Amino acid sequence: MSRSDLGWGSSPASRADPRSGLVIHYDSTDQGLAGKDHSACLTYWRNTRNFHTGPSRGWADIGYSFMACPHGYVIEGRGLYRTQAAQPGGNSSHYSCTLATGPSDPITPEQINAVRVLREWLMEPDTSIAGTVLGHRDFISTSCPGDKAYRMVQDGTFAKAPDDSEGDDDMPQHRRFEKSGSQTLEPGKWASLAFDSRHDGETGEFYAVVGVEEKEGAYYDVSVGVVLEGVTPGAEVQIRATEYEPDGDGGWKIARNRPQNSPVHQGGMAHFTYSWKGNLAKGRRVRFRIAQFGESDAQVTSATTDVFYWPR
Residue 199 has pLDDT above 90, yes or no: no
Cis preceding-peptide flag for 259 (omega within 30 of 0): no
**Stronger pLDDT, 215 or 138, i.e. the higher one:** 138
Q: Where does the pLDDT of residue 33 fall: very low under 50, low under 70, confident under 90, or very high at 90 and above?
A: very high
Distance CA 202, CA 220 (A): 22
Asked whether 13 and 82 are in contact (CB, 8 A), the reply is yes
Q: Please, what is the average pLDDT of the chain?
A: 90
What integer is the mean pLDDT of 175-179?
A: 90
What integer is the mean pLDDT of 113-133?
A: 91
User: Which of 51-55, 178-182, 258-262 has the lowest average pLDDT?
Assistant: 258-262
Q: Where does the pLDDT of residue 143 fall: very low under 50, low under 70, confident under 90, or very high at 90 and above?
A: very high
What are the phi and psi torsion angles at 179 (to 5°)? -130, 120
Q: What pLDDT shows up at residue 166?
A: 44
The strand ranges marked E within 199-261 are 203-206, 218-229, 237-246, 252-261
Q: Where does the pLDDT of residue 168 fall: very low under 50, low under 70, confident under 90, or very high at 90 and above?
A: very low
Q: What pLDDT shows up at residue 164?
A: 61
Distance CA 202, CA 30 (A): 44
Distance CA 102, CA 106 (A): 8
Distance CA 111, CA 67 (A): 9
Residue 86 has pLDDT above 90, yes or no: yes
The secondary element (H helix, E strand) that includes residue 274 is strand 270-280
What integer is the mean pLDDT of 107-130?
A: 91
Q: Where does the pLDDT of residue 13 fall: very low under 50, low under 70, confident under 90, or very high at 90 and above?
A: very high
What integer is the mean pLDDT of 113-117?
A: 95
Q: Where does the pLDDT of residue 250 fall: very low under 50, low under 70, confident under 90, or very high at 90 and above?
A: confident
Distance CA 147, CA 207 (A): 49
* Cβ-count burial 127-158 (b if 16+ within 10 Å, e if not): bebeeebbbbbbbeeeebbbeebbebbeeeeb
Q: What percent of the chain has pLDDT over 70?
A: 96
Q: What pLDDT shows up at residue 167?
A: 44
Q: What pLDDT shows up at residue 170?
A: 65
State pTM to two decimals: 0.65
Residue 176 has pLDDT above 80, yes or no: yes
Q: What pLDDT shows up at residue 271?
A: 79
User: Which of 14-18, 71-75, 215-219, 289-293 has the lowest average pLDDT?
Assistant: 215-219
Distance CA 296, CA 118 (A): 46
**Stronger pLDDT, 33 or 127, i.e. the higher one:** 33
3-class secondary-structure state, position 187: strand
Q: What pLDDT shows up at residue 169?
A: 52
Q: What pLDDT shows up at residue 10?
A: 86
